[in-house]
Structure 1
Amino acid sequence: MIKFLLIISFLLCFTSRAQTKITFSYDAAGNQTSRILCINCLSKTAKEVKEIEVITNDDLDPFFEKDVISYYPNPVKEELYLQWQLIKENYVTSVNVYSVTGQLLRSYSGNERLNSLNIPFQTYPAGFYLVLLSYKDGGEKSIKIIKQ
């Protein structure tokens, strides 16, 4: 009798519906707009799930619409090469290199006429670093760099 009840309870566990779920809605910027408790929700079927085969440039959200920032190599061994093309009259006012702990290691300023910069990494130990570009209009862009 105990085996029979054990088998019945085991089967009930597998045939019962999923637990209650909370569903979220988001706006175009990615901010959560609503949270709804859904007691008898059905999960998404395979038809509702969008399959992505290839990522195109239209799928990516740029930080700035026309600004282009290139950097290589990452991971870096000796020197990091930065190059940027900014729109309108915007320019890079300073480039700062930070350690993982937030310590300022090096600062480059006076880059109004430049559109590229070489940052030596030979003296830094292996690890993670942050390169922060500050713009004339107050904007900033950070880049994570790995030093081998």
Structure 2
Amino acid sequence: MKSFLLLSALLFYSNLLYSQGDLTFTYDSSGNQILRAPSTTVNKSMLVQAEEKDTIPIQDLKQKYLEEQIKVSAAPNPVSDLLTTTWENKEDEYFVMATLYSYNNRLLQDKKLSKAQSTKQFSFRSYPQGIYILVFWSNKDRKQSYKIIKR
């Protein structure tokens, strides 16, 4: 009986040692959780380590993405008859296809492009007035979309 009581007491007190306590959450300036720790063990060095992780601001990512894109110009926009598009391919990236969609997502034109091409014309003569979407697809499976207005 003594051993049973001793064993029960030992299990009860050992369970108290490993029970959950209060947690402290730390957030960065954007509201993202950066640290979760028991409230008794949070120290300044942990907070500094969490804040010093390599982070890239969204503006820098957006700027890098825009610099990597192939620049396209489409003129005249709004178009009445013929739209001329020009671009400069890069060594490692070039357009392989151009597709023209109506605003309700109906495929109107589908043109294959080569690495040597840097211009393409699209006829809008048979289309009614409205908004159209011109999509260029690159060899790296990236797409660039442009809104074209037909008068």
Q: What TM-score do you get using the length of structure 1 for normalisation?
A: 0.58
What is the deviation of 1:133?
0.1
Structure 1 unmatched ranges of 5 or more: 1-23, 31-59
The number of residues matched between the two structures is 96
Deviation digits for residues 13-64 of structure 1 (CA, Å, limit 9, x no counterpart): xxxxxxxxxxx8487227xxxxxxxxxxxxxxxxxxxxxxxxxxxxx94753
Q: Match of 2:57?
A: 28
- The 2-side partners of 1:62 and 1:100 are apart by 29
- The 1-side partners of 2:113 and 2:89 are apart by 16
- The 2-side partners of 1:126 and 1:62 are apart by 36
Residue type of the partner of 1:29?
I
Larger radius of gyration: 2
1:146 to 124, 130, 149: 149
Name the Cα RMSD after superposition: 2.3
2:74 to 71, 75, 87: 71
- Percent identity over the alignment is 25
Structure 2 unmatched ranges of 5 or more: 1-28, 32-55
Residue type of the partner of 1:69?
V
Aligned positions of 1:40-59 closer than 5 A: none
Q: Match of 1:120?
A: 123
Higher helix share: 2
Q: Match of 1:129?
A: 132
Q: Residue 89 of structure 2 contacts residue 115 of structure 2 at CA under 8 Å; is this kept in 1? A: no
What is the deviation of 1:88?
2.1
CA separation of 1:96 and 1:64: change in aligned 2, threshold 3 A:
same
- The 2-side partners of 1:116 and 1:141 are apart by 15
- The 1-side partners of 2:67 and 2:105 are apart by 29
What is the deviation of 1:110?
3.5
Q: What TM-score do you get using the length of structure 2 for normalisation?
A: 0.57
Q: Residue 102 of structure 2 contacts residue 132 of structure 2 at CA under 8 Å; is this kept in 1? A: yes
